[in-house]
A and B are shown apart, each in its own frame.
Chain A
Amino acid sequence: MQTRNNLYFNDHATINALGIATTFPSDRLISMHTTGANAITVCFFDMDNDGDDNDHVALTLTNETTNLLDSQTRRRIMDVMASLANTISRDGFTNVTDTINGIHADADILSSAITKS
């Protein structure tokens, strides 16, 4: 049986609207990309399964003091995401950002913004 893991993102202080808290199966993660000096975007196959657009989560990271440090942080957080995606959690899902409880998977992940297609 396939063992699956889900990645949890919550970017608001409440969970009462579309697109402010989501879980994505980690095997639906398509790819990750640099999208700013202190930002990466994580792309997932659309959870509505429409096949012509993605859902994605923009992660805002610590703004470092130099461009080199920024890129090293972005690269390290991609490692963190790869590790989380490959983690099997017995708690039901793997938390990446949990704004309600103020818990993020890494101290350099400051916030997330979810975009549903």
Chain B
Amino acid sequence: MKSQYVYFGKKGYHTEAPGTDETSTATTVALQANEGGGMIPTDQGADTANGTHAVHLFVKQVGDGSDGARGSGYGTTDELGATIVSANPKDGEVIRVPDLGFIWSSQTVQVQNVSADAVYGYDFEADTLVWAIDSKRDATTPPHLAIGADICVPMSNYLGADSVAFSASHYDGSALDVVSLKFKAAKGSATDDVVHLICTASKFTEVCQVMEEVANADNYEKAITMFDLDENGVETVYQGFADRGVTIYGVIIEMAAI
């Protein structure tokens, strides 16, 4: 019996507020990435040359910060195109911390405060928002070359989709939801493997339409790439998502060992 195959590669996406106010302390902020975010980064030390971290780290200021609460190395324009004064964080500004400005240790990312790093330091407040997002497929952000890195599955094993609320927004303010796509478990047991799509909010029905579309695609010579992020950071996304206004921000593959 013929079946259309689909392929998903993972893209880790993790966001949270660190919950630690370091404006008056000498600690570094810690943000824990984990399996739930689709990434378990290996330990990576400081002064890693720019471009070698496979995770991009974004920080959004919530409320105006004190002058001098951010380093001098963030230029004059933030990630959203707004004009900024590097050292003086203002409400809503989003900066990407360069690879030189953070480390990974025991799956937590650490950014120095300004007193320790006057260039890329950042004195986080408890409600400062931080995003860690895979920027490329790499051994430093497992799962890599292992279960959970990708899945290629016939649509005949598609069990259904479930909508899940996502508590955070993207750093540009876009609201997010999660659509969980369920497939028969590779283990062969009476359970499922799940592909969690972190995507544009309120697009559950559109994602279901995409799944219906690919199930009946009749392209039996190849698997359709639904999402992939390669070693150079190039994303391949099935056009049906964009046609329906769905942006994919993260892909997390949840499955047991086989």
Select one of A27, A35, A82 contacting B147, CB under 8 A: A35
Select one of A31, A66, A78, A79 contacting B186, CB under 8 A: A31
- Minimum CB–CB distance from B254 to chain A (whole Å) comes to 13
Give 18 new A-B contacts, CB below 8 A, not counting A32-B151, A32-B152, A79-B223: A26-B1, A29-B154, A31-B151, A33-B152, A35-B146, A36-B146, A44-B188, A52-B189, A53-B188, A53-B189, A54-B188, A71-B137, A75-B7, A75-B225, A79-B221, A82-B154, A82-B220, A85-B5
Q: Are A30 and B2 in contact, with the CB atoms below 8 A?
A: no
Most A Cβ at <10 Å: residue of B150, B157, B184: B150
Can you list the 3 inter-chain pairs with the closest CB atoms, starting with the nearest? A54-B188, A86-B220, A82-B5
Q: Answer whether A32 and B153 are a contact pair too, CB < 8 Å, given A3-B1, A51-B190, A54-B187.
A: yes
Residue numbers in A under 8 Å from B187 (CB-CB): 43, 53-54
> CA A85 – CA B223 in complex, angstroms?
11
> Interface size bucket, B side?
35 or more
> Interface size bucket, A side?
35 or more
Task: Judge if B109 is at the interface, Cβ distance under 8 Å.
Answer: no
Q: Are B145 and A2 in contact, with the CB atoms below 8 A?
A: no
Task: Judge if A45 is at the interface, Cβ distance under 8 Å.
Answer: yes
Task: Judge if B185 is at the interface, Cβ distance under 8 Å.
Answer: yes
Q: Answer whether A31 and B193 are a contact pair too, CB < 8 Å, given A3-B1, A54-B187.
A: yes
Residue numbers in A under 8 Å from B230 (CB-CB): 68, 71
> CA A27 – CA B185 in complex, angstroms?
14
- Minimum CB–CB distance from A3 to chain B (whole Å) comes to 7
Task: Judge if A23 is at the interface, Cβ distance under 8 Å.
Answer: no
| B 134-152 binary contact with A (CB < 8 Å = 1; else 0) | 0001000000011101111
Residue numbers in A under 8 Å from B24 (CB-CB): none
Task: Judge if B232 is at the interface, Cβ distance under 8 Å.
Answer: yes
Q: Are B188 and A37 in contact, with the CB atoms below 8 A?
A: no
Residue numbers in A under 8 Å from B172 (CB-CB): none
Secondary structure at the A interface, as helix, strand, loop or mixed, is: mixed
Task: Judge if B258 is at the interface, Cβ distance under 8 Å.
Answer: yes
Closest to B193 in A: A31
Most B Cβ at <10 Å: residue of A26, A66, A75: A75
- Minimum CB–CB distance from A86 to chain B (whole Å) comes to 4
Residue numbers in B under 8 Å from A30 (CB-CB): 153, 157, 184-186, 188
Task: Judge if A41 is at the interface, Cβ distance under 8 Å.
Answer: yes
| A 60-93 binary contact with B (CB < 8 Å = 1; else 0) | 0000001110010001001101110110000000
> CA A85 – CA B221 in complex, angstroms?
9
Q: Are B220 and A83 in contact, with the CB atoms below 8 A?
A: yes
Residue numbers in B under 8 Å from A37 (CB-CB): 145
Q: Are A51 and B186 in contact, with the CB atoms below 8 A?
A: no
Residue numbers in A under 8 Å from B183 (CB-CB): 31
Q: Are B188 and A82 in contact, with the CB atoms below 8 A?
A: no
- Minimum CB–CB distance from B15 to chain A (whole Å) comes to 26
Closest to A50 in B: B188
Residue numbers in A under 8 Å from B150 (CB-CB): 33-34
> CA A51 – CA B184 in complex, angstroms?
12
Residue numbers in A under 8 Å from B149 (CB-CB): 33-34
Q: Are B222 and A34 in contact, with the CB atoms below 8 A?
A: no
Residue numbers in B under 8 Å from A108 (CB-CB): none
Task: Judge if B23 is at the interface, Cβ distance under 8 Å.
Answer: no
Select one of B3, B145, B190 contacting A86, CB under 8 A: B3
Closest to A27 in B: B1
Q: Are A71 and B231 in contact, with the CB atoms below 8 A?
A: yes
